[in-house]
Structure 1
Amino acid sequence: MSRPGGILVGAPNSRDLGGLTGAGGRPVRSGMLIRSDAPGRLGDADVGVLAELGVTCVVDLRDASEISVAAPDRLAGQPRVVHLPVSEREHPVFIYLSAVLAGHDLGAYAALAREGTPAAMAEIYRWFVTGAPARAGFGRAVRLAADPANLPLLFHCSAGKDRTGWLTVILLTALGVDDAAIRADYLRSNQLGAGTREAILRAMRRRHPELDEDAVRPVLEVREEYLDAAYAEVARVYGSFDGYLRDGLGLDEATLTALRGHLLG
């Protein structure tokens, strides 16, 4: 059952990854991998969609502090929910970006502020590749997806664009989807998340009339330069994406073979 993007109204940056062409020309199976933003604002119709899909496992990439301030998840039935926090709250770049989103005075972060928010976002994407919590979380998420007992699987963070976006890159690359299709899916978050992004900016302007939108917008968008920073870090540290899957995420050939066997038609 293939569905267009934005399949969940309350999670507009959601989509079924089915239909993309993977290894050997085999398509990614529809209704098996669903990427999404946080499911706390799902309506009854959205819960019905999840029920129709038969989501068995939900991977939540948020940390406890994000979950505590978000609306409770609305899910269909009783899927297995696995929390794999991809975060490092004491990392200076995470602290800086939190300050940006909170509208705080950035004087305490002068060096990072001089480099600019896009540079900070690129650094976060490099951390996705090398940070221990990121490697552990992303590696386990792939192992979950390789187990048919966890399919269909829905995975998300808060906005469904950065951590969810990089996990999507990992899964689709492991499935043999070509780079252009992976990049197009990644960038689609800007289109699907446009309404949410503008609503966040309006709310921030109400709280902080002097808001520097040029500092905030890069945190609310996905950009090719962020993705390229992650790819460059993969090449620098692991030599290739295959090396990253093997040595960075600890994925053996049996896991990758199972992933393709269960998720390619």
Structure 2
Amino acid sequence: MEISTANRYATYPTNRVVPFIGANNFRDMGGYKTSDGRTVKFGLFFRSDGLTGLTDEDMNFFKTLNIKYIIDYRDESEAQKNPDPILSNVTYERIQTIEQNNQFDTFEEMARSNFFKNLSLDYMTELYSKLPLNNPAYKRLMQIIQDPNNLGLLHHCTFGKDRTGVGAALILSALGVPKNTVMEDYLLTKETMKEFTEKVFQQISAHFDDRGLQIIENIIGIKEEFLETAFQSITNTYGNIDAYFAHEFGLTKEKRQALQSFCLE
């Protein structure tokens, strides 16, 4: 039985996950409580995996979300292979977060190459330790969100979990959401992407040896220790999150208070 448009999206925003047909991990970052008891407003910040697969039905609902700005963390190759849809009245900005180590379209292509010979089992923790520091994409993100005219804002990458996961953690932390809640938002991707990751793992399991499968499991998985590594990297470098925002982004106490004043209720 086909689900009508009205029924398909009726759970939003009660359920922050927007049930798009063509995206697995599209969700509103609103509704989280801050340390001082306020709440992040719905409709200001969205996070997602790739948008290429959005259907016409999805696009019709997308337009009701009043998204004004899209930040795409992917590199040029990723964006060219799976371009975002062209949207009127939406500012699109692609800012690469990391240097990509491969140009492969599929995990099967990776298996046939020497790609994994250069990776360790700690690849993801090493990645997360680097992402928060001196990253032009997040510097730009923090500039953009300080202007209320840029919100609602959607930020995304290919799977919406690593690059977007750290970006989301930074936004919520800047708003005063406690770390344990930030972690809950991060780990929600484990549920939204569960069916997808299981399917991928089944498809590629025959192409890898045990070590390769362990690396793949890390790459497509969501683990608390990954985001914890990002927070630890911030602490090791700056001492605390407040100093990090002030020195990494120029986001002083006063600027964070101004940001919070229009993003919280």
Q: Normalization by structure 2: what TM-score?
A: 0.85
State whether structure 2 residue 45 is matched by structure 1 residue 49: no
User: Structure 1 residue aligned with 2:96, among 72, 82, 85?
Assistant: 85
Q: Using the alignment, how far apart are the partners of 2:38 and 2:57 within structure 1?
A: 31
State whether structure 2 residue 29 is matched by structure 1 residue 26: no
Alpha-carbon spacing, 1:107–1:44, altered in 2? closer, same or farther (3 Å): closer
Paired residue secondary structure (2:201): helix
**Structure 2 gap ranges (5+):** 1-11
Q: Using the alignment, how far apart are the partners of 2:79 and 2:230 within structure 1?
A: 26
Q: Which amino acid aligns with 2:24?
A: P
Alpha-carbon spacing, 1:12–1:44, altered in 2? closer, same or farther (3 Å): same
- Aligned CA-pair RMSD: 2.6
Q: Using the alignment, how far apart are the partners of 1:85 and 1:226 within structure 2?
A: 20
Answer with 214-223 or 94-103: which moved more: 94-103
Q: Using the alignment, how far apart are the partners of 2:114 and 2:188 within structure 1?
A: 32
Paired residue secondary structure (1:25): coil
- Match of residue 154 from structure 1: 154
Q: Which protein has the bigger helix share? A: 1
Q: Using the alignment, how far apart are the partners of 1:262 and 1:248 within structure 2?
A: 22
Q: Using the alignment, how far apart are the partners of 1:48 and 1:204 within structure 2?
A: 34
**Counterparts of 1:64-213 in structure 2 under 5 Å?**
64-70=76-82, 72-74=83-85, 76-89=87-100, 94=101, 102-103=110-111, 104-105=113-114, 108-109=117-118, 112-113=119-120, 116=121, 119-130=122-133, 132=134, 134=135, 136-205=136-205, 208=207, 212-213=212-213
Offset of 1:151 from its aligned partner? 1.0
State the identity as a percent. 27
Alpha-carbon spacing, 1:107–1:176, altered in 2? closer, same or farther (3 Å): closer
Q: Using the alignment, how far apart are the partners of 1:36 and 1:3 within structure 2?
A: 18
Alpha-carbon spacing, 1:75–1:264, altered in 2? closer, same or farther (3 Å): farther
C-alpha contact (below 8 Å) 1:61/1:155 kept by paired residues? yes
Question: Deviation digits for residues 81-127 of structure 1, max 9, x if unmatched?
Answer: 011110123xxxx4599997722345742xx43xx1xx110000011
Q: Using the alignment, how far apart are the partners of 2:107 and 2:226 within structure 1?
A: 17
C-alpha contact (below 8 Å) 1:187/1:222 kept by paired residues? yes
Offset of 1:254 from its aligned partner? 4.6
State whether structure 2 residue 39 is matched by structure 1 residue 36: no
C-alpha contact (below 8 Å) 1:60/1:85 kept by paired residues? yes
- Match of residue 216 from structure 1: 216
Q: Using the alignment, how far apart are the partners of 1:24 and 1:6 within structure 2?
A: 25
Alpha-carbon spacing, 1:49–1:258, altered in 2? closer, same or farther (3 Å): farther
Q: Using the alignment, how far apart are the partners of 2:154 and 2:116 within structure 1?
A: 39
Q: Using the alignment, how far apart are the partners of 2:106 and 2:65 within structure 1?
A: 38
Alpha-carbon spacing, 1:185–1:85, altered in 2? closer, same or farther (3 Å): same
C-alpha contact (below 8 Å) 2:69/2:153 kept by paired residues? yes
Q: Using the alignment, how far apart are the partners of 1:15 and 1:107 within structure 2?
A: 32
- Match of residue 4 from structure 2: none
C-alpha contact (below 8 Å) 2:16/2:30 kept by paired residues? no
Q: Using the alignment, how far apart are the partners of 2:33 and 2:257 within structure 1?
A: 16
Alpha-carbon spacing, 1:64–1:184, altered in 2? closer, same or farther (3 Å): same
Q: Using the alignment, how far apart are the partners of 1:40 and 1:58 within structure 2?
A: 13
Q: Normalization by structure 1: what TM-score?
A: 0.85
Q: Using the alignment, how far apart are the partners of 2:176 and 2:47 within structure 1?
A: 18
Q: Which amino acid aligns with 1:191?
A: E
